[in-house]
């Protein structure tokens, strides 16, 4: 009779590779650190064959781990990550250590506090902690009280919770029409919060994020009591100081999210305010224009709502007058001026559309193109109106005006010309335009674009040979005898003098695309040698491309890449190196070179015997269980 493995036996058979496949190398590293620091407490075995423990992090968390049907751990935790976190890893490693040392692990009781916490979904601050049953109990409790008893109860709770007392006082003052105290306190709270930039150090979980929830609640109190104008005034101040704080903050948007969380209340205040509809649109638009960080998206959504056409008409006139009054700028200031002017003119166009004044849009685009170089916007409008001759005229004008000064705009205009030729089904010229872009910016994508276009022009063999020739020695395609394509109508580019031919990276990419491993190796062997090598080459993709035809070359590439990473002496580099070592192992095993693999792995262990983290990762490559034999 075959013995069935219990869930606990399956824990004992885990390898480092299993653990890293479960959570990833970074989380495994942190979990190991927690286990070594003795942060796991009260480890126990659950009735379903899982593990449960307290793990001390920034707070104390309950973590439970079970084995899934695929033979990998699966964990839940009361920490913010909730699943498959470093706390779960620490629990598994602590269990394996206990078993290895022949220590008894007790069984968890059915009423274990940790099981209850995990069954309830942990302690998520965003969840409503008052269930429907609790609400019913509270309702029944309060309904049985007299007025005097309710007053006593509120006094008692207000004494225990100062914030509740403050909220009651605010509501009383606002309802009575006295908003001065609340507005003054709220203004000061906003300034205090904005006085320190947000920051976050994700490596050690330290930082500061301002909590604007109190500001939001007070704004809601003002609004519910019928004071949208006061809320709107404070909202303007919040946008101003908030933008400054976000600009000075060093986090990943947490500060911006806190401020943005208040803005739906300001939008509602704007909607309820007695302002004229056009003034409301101006108010919202000013907030959007002041915001370079996307914090004021709520006002952008407000502008997308349905508003009276007359309001859009007034807003359009205001924006056109504002554009007319803008002064010119030179030098570095011109770029910023043009950027702001383009934003303003885009909203003017939006307002003209909503006001039903479409006839004014293209003339405005013409004037703005001459002022700021926004030719692409003009051309798009003309093409949308099917005025292709006018569009082509402005493409040429734009290319002459901007020259090489704005390469991004130039590329967009050439794309528009190509779209026009595609509508005409003029495939030879479409292909010629594609080839010119390839010469300007050689890349695998540009090569495939040329292949697609020249297929329709029935010229791919000649075009392909010319493109490869250009990559090899810089010879311009149209200078070759028998070039099959006509002129595009644009000035043909010269070879970029900064390029050093042959362009090995592009030649290798194309050889990989065309599945020609001999060409891949040919160009790879011609790569520049020296101290810095060719960091732009994707050596992993090269090894993947040649592993069937030249397995020994693929293995050598992966080994070399792994050894360079190991030389960095950084844990994350070791984890990256392991990916390439696994590939080398697989190919060597398929080539019946398992003994050579074992010998190579042994040499790595001997050379780096003092690098404990690396040795653990190398152990994972062997797929040996983490837990050694019991003593």
174 and 292 together in one domain? yes
Query: Does 502 sit behind a cis peptide bond, omega within 30 degrees of 0 on the bond before it?
Result: yes
Per the model's pLDDT, the better-predicted residue between 550 and 176 turns out to be: 550
**Of 283, 307, 331, which marks where a domain is finished?**
307
Domain presence at residue 359:
no
Residue of 298, 302, 303 whose CA lies nearest to 316: 303
Paired sense of beta strands 199-201 and 40-45, if any: unpaired
User: What values do phi and psi take at 43, rounded to 5?
Assistant: -65, 140
Long-range contacts of 527-532 (CB under 8 A, 24+ apart): 528/504
- The pLDDT assigned to 171 comes to 64
Termini Cα distance of the chain: 28
Per the model's pLDDT, the better-predicted residue between 531 and 488 turns out to be: 488
Using an 8 Å Cβ cutoff, are 400 and 412 in contact?
A: no
20 and 61 together in one domain? yes
In three state form, how does the secondary structure of 297-334 look? Answer: HHHHHHHCCCCCHHHHHHHHHHHHHHHHHCCCCCCHHH
- The pLDDT assigned to 121 comes to 57
Q: What is the percentage of the chain residues whose pLDDT exceeds 70?
A: 90
470 and 605 together in one domain? no
505 and 547 together in one domain? no
448 and 575 together in one domain? no
271 and 224 together in one domain? yes
d(CA 255, CA 248): 10
Domain presence at residue 320:
no
Domain presence at residue 380:
no
d(CA 63, CA 44): 11
Number of domains into which the chain is organized = 4
**Of 275, 307, 339, which marks where a domain is finished?**
307
Domain presence at residue 135:
no
pTM: 0.72
102-122 average pLDDT score: 85
Is residue 123's pLDDT more than 80? Answer: no
Question: Domain range for residue 26?
Answer: 7-119
Q: List, for residues 217-228, the tens digit of each pLDDT value.
A: 989 989 998 999
Distances (CA, A) of 299 to 194, 254, 282, 284, 289: 21, 19, 11, 5, 10
166 and 303 together in one domain? yes
Mean pLDDT of the chain: 89
Is residue 338's pLDDT more than 80? Answer: yes
- The pLDDT assigned to 124 comes to 42
d(CA 575, CA 571): 6
73-80 average pLDDT score: 91
Domain presence at residue 344:
no
Residue of 74, 51, 49, 73 whose CA lies nearest to 62: 51
Per the model's pLDDT, the better-predicted residue between 7 and 38 turns out to be: 38
At residue 278 the predicted structure's pLDDT band, cuts being 50, 70 and 90, is: very high
Q: Which residue has the tokens 């309060």?
A: 142
Domain presence at residue 288:
yes
Q: List, for residues 288-317, the tens digit of each pLDDT value.
A: 999 999 999 999 999 999 999 999 999 999
Using an 8 Å Cβ cutoff, are 279 and 227 in contact?
A: no
- The pLDDT assigned to 122 comes to 46
Question: Tokens at residue 602, please?
Answer: 């042994």
């Amino acid at each position: 009779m075959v013995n069935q493995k219990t869930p606990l036996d399956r824990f004992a058979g885990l390898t480092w590779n299993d653990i890293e496949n479960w959570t990833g190398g970074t989380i495994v590293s942190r979990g190991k650190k927690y286990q070594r620091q003795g942060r796991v407490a009260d480890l126990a075995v659950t009735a379903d064959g899982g593990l449960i423990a307290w793990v001390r992090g920034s707070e104390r968390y309950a973590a439970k781990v079970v084995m899934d049907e695929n033979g990998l751990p699966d964990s839940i935790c009361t920490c913010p990550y909730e699943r498959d976190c470093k706390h779960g890893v620490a629990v598994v490693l602590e269990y394996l250590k206990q078993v290895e040392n022949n220590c008894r692990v007790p069984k968890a009781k059915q009423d274990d506090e940790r099981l209850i916490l995990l069954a309830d979904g942990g302690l998520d601050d965003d969840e409503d902690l008052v269930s429907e049953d609790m609400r019913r109990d509270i309702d029944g409790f309060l309904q049985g009280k007299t007025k005097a008893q309710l007053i006593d109860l509120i006094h008692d709770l207000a004494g225990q919770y100062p914030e509740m007392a403050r909220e009651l006082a605010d509501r009383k003052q606002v309802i009575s029409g006295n908003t001065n105290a609340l507005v003054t306190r709220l203004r000061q709270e906003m300034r205090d919060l904005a006085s320190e930039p947000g920051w976050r150090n994700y490596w050690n979980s330290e930082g500061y994020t301002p909590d604007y929830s109190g500001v939001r609640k007070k704004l809601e109190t003002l609004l519910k009591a019928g004071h949208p104008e006061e809320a709107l005034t404070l909202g303007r101040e919040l946008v101003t100081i908030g933008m400054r704080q976000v600009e000075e903050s060093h986090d990943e948007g947490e500060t911006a999210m806190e401020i943005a969380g208040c803005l739906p209340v300001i939008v509602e205040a704007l909607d309820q305010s007695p302002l004229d509809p056009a003034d409301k649109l101006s108010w919202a638009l000013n907030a959007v224009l002041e915001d370079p960080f996307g914090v004021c998206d709520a006002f952008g959504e407000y502008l997308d709502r349905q508003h009276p056409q007359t309001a859009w008409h007034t807003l359009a006139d205001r924006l056109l007058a504002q554009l007319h009054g803008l002064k010119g700028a030179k030098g570095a200031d011109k770029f910023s001026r043009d950027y702001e002017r383009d934003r303003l003119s885009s909203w003017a166009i939006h307002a003209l559309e909503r006001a039903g004044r479409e006839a004014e849009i293209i003339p405005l685009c013409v004037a703005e193109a001459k002022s700021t170089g926004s030719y692409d916007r003009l051309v798009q409008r003309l093409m949308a109106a099917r005025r292709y001759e006018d569009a082509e005229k402005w493409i040429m004008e734009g290319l002459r005006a901007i020259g090489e000064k704005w390469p991004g705009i130039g590329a967009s205009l050439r794309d528009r010309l190509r779209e026009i030729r595609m509508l005409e089904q003029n495939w030879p010229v479409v292909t010629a335009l594609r080839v010119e872009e390839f010469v300007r910016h050689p890349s695998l994508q540009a090569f495939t674009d040329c292949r697609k276009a020249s297929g329709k022009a029935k010229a791919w063999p000649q075009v392909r040979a010319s493109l490869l020739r250009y990559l090899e020695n810089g010879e311009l395609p149209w200078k070759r005898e028998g070039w099959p394509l006509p002129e595009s109508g644009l000035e043909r580019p010269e070879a970029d003098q900064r390029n050093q031919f042959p362009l090995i990276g592009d030649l290798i990419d194309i050889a990989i695309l065309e599945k020609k491993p001999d060409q891949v190796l040919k160009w790879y062997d011609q790569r520049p040698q020296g101290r810095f090598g060719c960091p732009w080459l994707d050596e992993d993709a090269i090894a993947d491309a040649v592993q069937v035809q030249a397995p020994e070359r693929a293995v050598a590439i992966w080994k070399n890449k792994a050894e360079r990473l190991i030389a960095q002496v950084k844990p994350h580099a070791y984890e990256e190196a392991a990916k390439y070592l696994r590939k080398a192992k697989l190919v060597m095993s398929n080539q019946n070179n398992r003994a050579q693999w074992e010998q190579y792995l042994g040499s790595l262990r001997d050379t780096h015997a003092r690098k404990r983290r690396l040795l653990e990762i190398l152990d994972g490559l062997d797929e040996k269980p983490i837990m050694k034999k019991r003593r």
